[in-house]
Amino acid sequence: MNQLFHLLWLFPLLISCSGAYFGEEKRFNQFVQKEFDERIQKHPELSTVLGLSSGKSQWNDLSESFLRAQYETAETNLKKLSEFDVSAFSQRSQLSRKIFKLLMEEKKNSFDFRFHHYIVNPLFGRQSRVTAFLINMHTIENIQDAKDYITRVRGIKDNFAQVTSRLQASAKRGIVPPRFIFSRVEGNIRSLLKGYPVGSEGDHVLVRDFNKKISALNLSPVKKKKLNEELEQALLKFYKPAYEHLLATWLELQAKSKNDVGVWSQPDGQKYYAFLLRKRTTTDLTPEDIYQLGLKEVQRLHLEIEQLKSKLNFNGSLLDFFNHFRNSRKFYHRNREVYITKSNTAISEIKKELPKFFKNLPKYPVIVKRVESFREKTTGGGFYQPPAVEGSRPGIFYVNLYRMSERPKYALKALTFHETLPGHHLQISTALSLKSLPQFQRYARFTAFTEGWALYAERLAGEMGFYTTEYDQFGALSYELMRACRLVVDTGLHYKKWSRDRAIGYLIRNSDVSYDSAVRSVERYIVNPGQATAYMIGFLKILELRELAKKTLGDKFDIKEFHHQVLKNGALPLTVLEENIRAWLKTS
């Protein structure tokens, strides 16, 4: 009787605590959702990427005042975040809070380096990005979508005015891209000024894209003609002057450029690089730590390739072995359609085996697509574009087939698995499908996690039995070796003050890449400092945690459960991922 009385007395308190618990957590979820919704409204390009309808006629604001407002918003959000009673949170909300805090701190800290970023560059610069965005992201399903497309074409003029303002503001502070970049970008801009109505040589790429998209609409020929005429006027009166003004500004800045290529040569360049490494790797590794790790990993992979060389009965040095693959045409694809077909075949084959290794598989489809001609000369060898959340656009693996001499047969599978399944497409699509997580968390990107996972996926594909020949195995090892070389080259360029030629030479001596590919790779590391270090660092951490799980669980280790634990919270900083895996192992 006394025990029952005690429980009855305690019951209202339990209800009260439970109410506080869920009330505080609900308030937090509402807070982060409101912040996410506001971010979507302020970033119309992100809205389009996600497949949403808001802001479909607008471009992102690139002005200094907007960047300052973003900084102030991050400060405000951090202050509001500190007001929540974390003790009332579930483990999942505590994790969400930790991730949100890291993202806001990163946004706040990046403000000091807002002039350091090369907003115009050969790889992913604004000059090609807006045109590519219209082609690849702006869908046209009705007449309003078509009008929004035209409005966006008109808006490029104002958007590029902000770009030139940013370029000039950076130059005033002594931050100008390295000299070699200028000719690359100039060629890219001039290629986008070709085609009717802005130039000669056929129709402009946007005219072709627009015509293709509206041809699928149920519109009368008169309406289609009127829309085409409106697009042509927008290209002539807004697009063309925007690109011409950007080109003129770019050529003026060239006189201020230098031959130094590392960010160490910029004002506060060392601080900027340290910031980028923390951001990209989500660790506290120093540039020297990363450089030494790179040397160690290159040595390890050289030894593994030496063993493979012996299996193939190849007589000669390791450099001879690399040259054997580099210089023999039999190892390279010549037919672009065949390359895409084989990539699709690799995806179809590995997809059948995924249920043996993963608990939950994404429902989003993935396709292989060639990089567009106007940007294939300067962009990377391959990259992934996530699907639209509501399913209107699949995940896309873009492969650059401009130089077939850079597309070896033996590396096709490794590249395909990296970008699609079980790599980027699987990881990112899985995150997008995690409906129980706050939206901001499903869309969060931490480079070391996402790229580390994709490199891990290359290794996993081998463990799944998909590298059936020594040449496939060499392709996977050569790709892993390239990521190890990146640790050395990236820190070499931006920390040890290497020249561009020295970095190119290092890649040629220590890997199988062609000279042209080495040039493009080094130029990528120059314009995007620190990003290349994320792959190997994330990969090694995931492998380390898998070995820890195997050792801890012994016969109870289940690869499907391990992958579930890694992927179930979306992309994470590596430090947080390790905390989560160790906590899981304690309760397993």
* pLDDT score recorded for residue 374: 81
Cα separation, 297 vs 312, whole angstroms = 23
Query: Is the pLDDT reported for residue 5 higher than 70?
Result: no
pLDDT digits (tens, 9 = 90+) for 275-288: 999 999 999 999 99
| pLDDT given at position 22 | 65
Starting at the edge strand found earlier in the chain, the sheet holding 382-385 runs 366-370, 395-399, 382-385
The model's confidence at residue 44, banded by pLDDT at 50, 70 and 90, is very high
The two tokens of residue 51 are 């497949």
74, two tokens: 């991050």
- As a whole number, mean pLDDT of residues 384-398 equals 90
Q: pLDDT > 90: what percent of the chain?
A: 88
Rounded to the nearest 10°, the torsion over CA 155, 157, 161, 167 is: 100
Q: What is the pLDDT of residue 243?
A: 98
Backbone angles phi, psi at 399, to 5 degrees: -115, 135
What's the mean pLDDT when you consider all of the chain?
93
What pLDDT, on the 0 to 100 scale, is given for residue 18? 41
Query: How far is it, in rounded angstroms, from Cα 464 to Cα 251?
Result: 51
- Cβ pair 372, 132 in contact under 8 A: yes
pLDDT confidence tier of residue 13, bands split at 50, 70 and 90 = very low
Q: Verify cis geometry, omega within 30 degrees of 0, for the bond prior to 197.
A: yes
**Residues 489/404/396/155 CA torsion (nearest 10 deg):** 80
Which of 110, 431, 73 has the alpha carbon at shortest distance from 279?
Answer: 110
Q: According to the model, what pLDDT value does residue 398 have? A: 94
CA 548 to chain centre: 28
Residue 373 exposed, middle or buried by CB count within 10 Å (0-12, 13-18, 19+): exposed
Residue with tokens 């309760």: 587
In degrees, rounded to 5, the angle at the alpha carbon of residue 123 between the alpha carbons of residues 121 and 127 is: 50
Buried b (16+ CB within 10 A) or exposed e, 299-332: eebeeebeebbeeeeeeeebeebbeebbeeeebb
pLDDT at 506: 98
Q: What band does 10 get if pLDDT is binned at 50, 70 and 90?
A: very low
Residue 278 is encoded by which pair of tokens? 């923390």
What are the helix (H) ranges across 467-532?
Answer: 470-494, 500-510, 515-527
Strand ranges, E, within 335-440 = 366-370, 382-385, 395-399
How do residues 101-135 score in pLDDT, each as one tens digit?
A: 999 999 999 999 999 999 999 989 999 999 999 99
- pLDDT tens readout for residues 152-173: 999 999 999 999 999 999 999 9
Residue 12, preceding peptide bond in cis (omega within 30° of 0): no
- Report the alpha-carbon angle 230-233-236, nearest 5: 150
Residue type present at position 221: P
* 397-418 tens-digit pLDDT: 999 998 888 899 999 999 999 9
Whether 566 shows a pLDDT value over 90: the answer reads yes
> Please, which pLDDT band fits residue 8 given cuts at 50, 70 and 90?
very low
